Amino acid sequence: MTTQEKITFNVEEIRKQFPALHREVYGKPLIYFDNGATSQKPQIVIDTINRYYTSENANIHRGVHFLSQQATDAYEEARRIVQRFIHAQHEHEVIFTKGTTDGINLVASCFGELLTAGDEVIISGMEHHSNIVPWQMLCERKKLKLKVIPVLDNGELDLEAFEQLLSEATKLVAVTHISNTLGTINPVKWIIDKAHTAGAKVLIDGAQSIQHMPINVQELDCDFYVFSSHKVFGPTGTGVLYGKEAILNEMPPYQGGGDMIAKVTFEKTTYNELPFKFEAGTPHIIGGIATGTALHYLSSLDQEAIHGHETDLLNFTQERLLETEGVRIIGTAREKTSVVSFIVDGIHPFDIGTLLDKQGIAVRTGHHCTQPLMDRFGIPGTVRTSFAFYNTKAEVEVFLKALNRSIGMLR
**Residues within the interface to ligand PLP (CB under 6 A):** 99-101, 128, 130-131, 176, 180, 205, 207-208, 228
Nearest distance from C-beta of residue 186 to ligand PLP, angstroms: 11
205 vs 279 by CB, closer to ligand PLP: 205
Instruction: Using the minimum distance from each CB to ligand PLP, give the nearer residue, 207 or 285.
Output: 207
* Choice between 128 and 201, CB closer to ligand PLP: 128
Continuous segment of H or E residues that includes residue 28: strand 28-29
Pick 61 or 384: Cβ nearer ligand PLP: 384
Percentages helix, strand, coil for the chain (3-state, rounded to 5) are 45, 20, 35
Q: How far is the CB of 134 from ligand PLP (least distance, A)?
A: 11
Calculate ∠ Cα 239-313-342, nearest 5°. 80
Q: What minimum distance in Å lies between the beta carbon of 110 and ligand PLP?
A: 17
Is 139 considered catalytic here? no
Of 99 and 353, the one with the shorter C-beta distance to ligand PLP is 99
Strand 269-271 versus strand 261-264 pairing type: antiparallel
| CA 208/CA 217 separation, integer angstroms | 15
Residue among 62, 71, 92 nearest 287 (CA): 71
Per-position b or e across 175-192, b if 16+ CB within 10 A of its CB = bbbbbbbbbbbbbbeebb
What is the nearest approach in angstroms of ligand PLP to the Cβ of residue 95?
14
Catalytic residue among 110, 139, 222, 369: 369
DSSP state of 180: T
Q: What's the burial of 378, exposed, middle or buried (CB within 10 Å: 0-12/13-18/19+)?
A: exposed
Shortest CB 133 distance to ligand PLP, Å = 11
Residues sharing a CB contact under 8 Å with residue 409, sequence separation 6 or more, in sequence order: 355
Cα–Cα distance list, 269 to 263, 274, 313 (Å): 6, 16, 54
Residues acting as catalytic residues? 369
